[in-house]
Amino acid sequence: MLEKVNSVKDLKKLNIEDKKILAKDLRKYILEIVSKNGGHLASNLGVVELTIALHSVFDVPEDKIVWDVGHQSYVHKILTGRKDKMKTLRKLGGLAGFPKTNESETDCFNTGHSSTSISVALGMARARDIKGKDNNVIAVIGDGALTGGMALEALNDAGCSGTKMLVILNDNEMSISKNIGGMNMFLSKLRTKRTYTKSNVSLKKIINKIPVVGKPFVKIVQRVKRSIKQLIIPKMFFEDIGFRYLGPVDGHDIAELERMLKITKELDGPVLLHVLTKKGKGYKIAEENPDKYHATSPFDIETGEAKGKKKKDYSKVFGEKLINLAKENKNIVAITASMKDGTGLKEFQKEFPDRFFDIGIAEQHAVGLAAGMAKAGLIPFVPIYSSFYQRAYDQVIHDVAIQNLPVIMLVDRAGIVGQDGETHQGEFDMAFFRLVPNLIIMAPKDFKELESMMEFAVKIKKPVVIRYPRGGEDSKIIFDKHNDINLGRAEILNKGKDISIIAIGKTVARAMEVANKLKENNIEAEVINARFLKPLDRKTVKKSIEKTKNVVTLEDGTIINGLGTAIKELIIDDNLKDIKIKSFAYPDEFIKHGQVNELEKIYHQDEKSIYEYIIKLKEEEKKKKQE
């Protein structure tokens, strides 16, 4: 059936039985693609019927469908003319793993971070009204994403707006792992009321068909039903805040979904349709382990086993070290914003369930909560991915830094992350944290140094940021010496007189690789592991620069306001003369998806580019001297 469907136009011609076959084909195709390219599997398998129904009832691009997070948009992509291109999913130059307006006019908004869809959809609906148009606007949001503050702020606004819009709550009881929190408790009460709304809606339709008395009568009946509903479902939250609530509806029943969606089209004001889906639906291995297959690297379809061996990564090292530290110090607690697997906290939760807090997709709250805990004598560790720390920026400044509270902020997936693309690249954290007073900002060169930095962070009793990349130690360089961590002190890893290579975090290993290669050309590079972006070890850096007069800085982040900027400031502030400096960092732009090593090459951050720059520099220097 999938062969026949190249667009939503083709889809709309199918009957329900054909659509059921199409759903099967779509699942098979998604499985085939994701097992090869990696990507978000379970969420997409869960929304196959919902996406078919949406595109059967609504008309994109006139109608606007805003996919929250956007990780579940694969079916949408396939049905909107990108079927064949799916083979390029998440690859360099290929389709993105999230909606992109420049990919298709049916992607009405770029997403990637959670909980944005209701705000955006409300904005589009208000714009529609002001412009006198009549298109539909739909936000598709998961129960996990609904735990995010932005989604709740938007519900609050939309509910009283009177604006016609549809929020589809795709409820699979899962965030990445099991969903948590008060909203989840509330939803679980609604989930059990399966039959209620079905009869409610059909009754309304029947009454509506009665001539003359129909419309006024239906209003009275609805009022009565609303009060009955209040009795059956205690505190009917959505209706209380101004939404018309419909559901729950079986999210794998295409006919029922289409029927309900058609009804929502006829209703004015904000409507919430509660859809129950199963994460991983149709692929048993993912149904049984929806968290594991939420996002996956390439795997074998038969066994579900990952292709290629999973190497130890920084998140795991962090999680293991935290357990050790917590055994010695009862004040240590851990907070995650719905990412316990990704950030390496799964085992910590098992070991210290009372000192572990999964607080939903709520990065702002995570940092605010940590600040309160720190003020009251605890030592909170808060690992959040770099790009999601953007959410908690004010909390870091206002709740943590101003009060100089000992919150330990682990910036996971810092730097270029690869295939998730521009919304997920972690290139900005050094830039935005560096300008915050009181923060101590570090990045380890390897696993061992991460452990030492964590120990140091516990001792120093100040706000600390430790950033580390996605993945593990991916260099041939093995550091055998590990100096103690001292506040604001860098370490010199290689002495040299010809050029200073100052690096931080994962780029330190690259600096050593380059230095080793330069040795073969009789160029002696001094390699400095900065360790601290803030406070910078001005003394060590200055001494080296004054000696070599040539500086290269390396960092896995944006060119603006990172290590390179800090060194340039030092050169100017301290009036160092005749210095040549080149900063290797990412340009002032959003970095698209692709493998990390591919992107490093494109942006000239790889070993070869750095090596060649230095060789050229030294050749030019030589020429000048000879002249």
* 3-class secondary structure, 458: helix
Q: Least Å distance between CB 293 and ligand TPP?
A: 10
Q: Least Å distance between CB 426 and ligand TPP?
A: 12
CA distance 289 to 296: 12
CA distance 201 to 196: 9
* Residue 338 makes contact with ligand TPP by CB under 6 A: yes
Collect all residues with Cβ–Cβ distance below 8 Å to 70 and sequence separation of at least 6.
98, 99, 110, 111, 112
Render the burial of 251-263: b for 16+ CB within 10 Å, e for the rest: bbbbebbbbbbeb
Render the burial of 273-296: b for 16+ CB within 10 Å, e for the rest: bbbbbbbbbbbebbbeebbbbbbb
Q: Which stretch binds ligand TPP (CB under 6 A): 88-96, 122-130, 136-144, 343-351?
A: 136-144
Q: How many residues bind ligand TPP (CB under 6 A)?
A: 24
* Residue 143 makes contact with ligand TPP by CB under 6 A: yes
Whether 391 sits among the annotated catalytic residues: the reply is: yes
Which C-beta is closer to ligand TPP: that of 71 or that of 225?
71
Q: Which stretch binds ligand TPP (CB under 6 A): 142-150, 366-374, 398-406, 444-452?
A: 142-150
* Residue 359 makes contact with ligand TPP by CB under 6 A: no
* Residue 388 makes contact with ligand TPP by CB under 6 A: yes
Whether 279 sits among the annotated catalytic residues: the reply is: yes
CA distance 175 to 240: 25
Amino acid at 371: A
Exactly one of 71, 90, 198, 445 binds ligand TPP (CB under 6 A); that residue is: 71
Query: Within 107-126, which residues bind ligand TPP (CB under 6 A)?
Result: 113-114
* Residue 172 makes contact with ligand TPP by CB under 6 A: yes
Q: How many residues does the chain have?
A: 627
Q: Least Å distance between CB 368 and ligand TPP?
A: 15
Which C-beta is closer to ligand TPP: that of 82 or that of 294?
294
Q: Least Å distance between CB 76 and ligand TPP?
A: 13
Exactly one of 66, 286, 326, 361 binds ligand TPP (CB under 6 A); that residue is: 361
CA distance 489 to 195: 65
CA distance 237 to 251: 21
Q: Least Å distance between CB 272 and ligand TPP?
A: 15
Which C-beta is closer to ligand TPP: that of 366 or that of 443?
366
* Stretch 519-538: interaction string toward ligand TPP, x if CB under 6 A: --------------------
Structure tokens at 457: 């962070």
Structural contact between residues 380 and 334, judged by C-beta atoms closer than 8 angstroms? yes
Q: Least Å distance between CB 356 and ligand TPP?
A: 16
DSSP string, 383-412: EEEHHHHGGGHHIIIIIIITTT---EEEEE
Query: Within 29-58, which residues bind ligand TPP (CB under 6 A)?
Result: 43, 46
| Identified catalytic residue from 321, 391, 467, 510 | 391
Whether 363 sits among the annotated catalytic residues: the reply is: yes
* Residue 184 makes contact with ligand TPP by CB under 6 A: no
Partners of residue 442 on adjacent β-strands: 466, 532
For tokens 């935290």, what's the residue?
Answer: 322
Which C-beta is closer to ligand TPP: that of 72 or that of 548?
72
Q: Which stretch binds ligand TPP (CB under 6 A): 21-29, 171-179, 280-288, 533-541?
A: 171-179
* Residue 366 makes contact with ligand TPP by CB under 6 A: no
* Residue 142 makes contact with ligand TPP by CB under 6 A: yes
Structure tokens at 509: 């290993």
* Residue 562 makes contact with ligand TPP by CB under 6 A: no
Render the burial of 47-67: b for 16+ CB within 10 Å, e for the rest: bbbbbbbbbbbbebeebbbbb
| Identified catalytic residue from 19, 198, 279, 340 | 279
Q: Least Å distance between CB 172 and ligand TPP?
A: 5
* Residue 434 makes contact with ligand TPP by CB under 6 A: no
**Terminal C-alpha separation, the chain:** 74
CA distance 544 to 499: 8
Structural contact between residues 584 and 617, judged by C-beta atoms closer than 8 angstroms? no
Partners of residue 306 on adjacent β-strands: 299
Sheet order of strands, 379-385 included:
356-358, 332-336, 379-385, 408-412, 464-467, 440-442, 532-534
Which C-beta is closer to ligand TPP: that of 465 or that of 566?
465
Which C-beta is closer to ligand TPP: that of 357 or that of 456?
357
* Stretch 274-313: interaction string toward ligand TPP, x if CB under 6 A: -----x--------------x-------------------
* Residue 252 makes contact with ligand TPP by CB under 6 A: no
Angle at 537 between CA 375 and CA 550, to 5 degrees: 150
Q: Least Å distance between CB 114 and ligand TPP?
A: 3
Please report the beta strands in 54-155, taking only residues with DSSP state E, as ranges in sequence order.
Answer: 64-67, 137-142
* Residue 176 makes contact with ligand TPP by CB under 6 A: yes
Residues of the shown chain interacting with ligand TPP in the complex, contacts defined by CB under 6 A: 43, 46, 69, 71-72, 113-114, 142-145, 170, 172, 174-176, 279, 294, 338-339, 361, 363, 388, 391
Active-site residues, by number, are 279, 363, 391
